[in-house]
Amino acid sequence: MLKSATADGSSLVISDCNSNADQLWAIEPWDGSGSNLSGCFNILNFNAYPKILGVLGGNPTDGAQAVIWDPLGHLDQVWCLS
């Protein structure tokens, strides 16, 4: 995250590994209630728990910005391996 920012909508940035809390993330299984998705998960940030990784505005197009946000149960906050 940009300078350890934890406000909703804070962008993620690439930086050297420095072991700061803002670089610690965890994967939590997503229950998928009411969905046909399985094996998916949320990505939580330890520096700003319970904030999770999502896509700004739910925009699924190329170049969309990944941001930290409160968990809202929206599909733009669900990540799946394919």
In terms of pLDDT, which residue wins out, 68 or 21? Answer: 68
What is the pTM (predicted TM-score) of this model?
0.81
3-state secondary structure of 77: helix
Mean pLDDT of 21-44: 84
Domain boundaries, the chain: 2-80
The CATH number of 2-80 is which of 2.80.10.50, 1.10.10.410, 2.130.10.10, 1.10.3090.10?
A: 2.80.10.50
CA distance 34 to 62: 27
CA distance 42 to 35: 15
User: Is pLDDT of 79 > 60?
Assistant: yes
